[in-house]
Homo-oligomer: A and B are copies of this chain.
């Protein structure tokens, strides 16, 4: 019963649930402690603040995502499908990212920007090699992929509420997204 690492993990789990549901401002430290089955003070011992607890949770899951989802510039539709699958199976983390981008004070997490730069460069090279069309810029393509892949997440402002039936048939939606990205990545003329 007296295991610091285990309690830290329980706190992080409860914090994910709490922050995902209520955001930073809406989250309650007492509730996190209760759901983690530990004393409130331990949260302040192991993690500095409410805010650093949040960023700790976010960073932890973000790095896990970067490891799980490999970027394939030569197969952008497949990448979009992978991101879609991940977003649909990990709605908590998508919510976490949404909260962060709204409540943020504009200090970006370094991991994200470096990961983004890598992808941009990879798309540029794929374009040079003729694997991806040059109708759109790498930045546009990447943003379009992420926007489409996460659009059907329960949290999205224009998501399931605009396409309620899609939630029941995720496979069809995934294929449609891949298809759409395929069209954009080729970028044929009209």
In this complex, how many residues of chain A approach chain B with their Cβ under 8 Å: the count is: 54
Q: Does A144 contact B (CB under 8 A)?
A: yes
Copies of this chain:
2
Cβ–Cβ contact B183 & A158, under 8 A: no
Q: Does A130 contact B (CB under 8 A)?
A: no
Query: Assuming A150-B157, A158-B150, A184-B183, is B140 touching A173 (CB within 8 A)?
Result: yes
A95 proximity list for chain B (CB < 8 A)? 102
Identify the closest chain B residue to A83 (Cβ): B158
Identify the closest chain B residue to A186 (Cβ): B190
Q: Does A162 contact B (CB under 8 A)?
A: yes
**Docked pose: A151 CA to B101 CA in angstroms:** 13
Q: List 15 A-B contacts (CB under 8 A).
A: A22-B103, A99-B102, A101-B159, A101-B161, A137-B165, A140-B180, A144-B148, A144-B151, A146-B157, A147-B147, A148-B148, A150-B158, A179-B187, A183-B187, A188-B188
A: which residues have CB within 8 A of B?
22-26, 94-95, 97-103, 108, 112-113, 116, 135-137, 139-140, 142-144, 146-148, 150-152, 155-159, 161-166, 173, 176, 179-180, 182-184, 186-188, 190
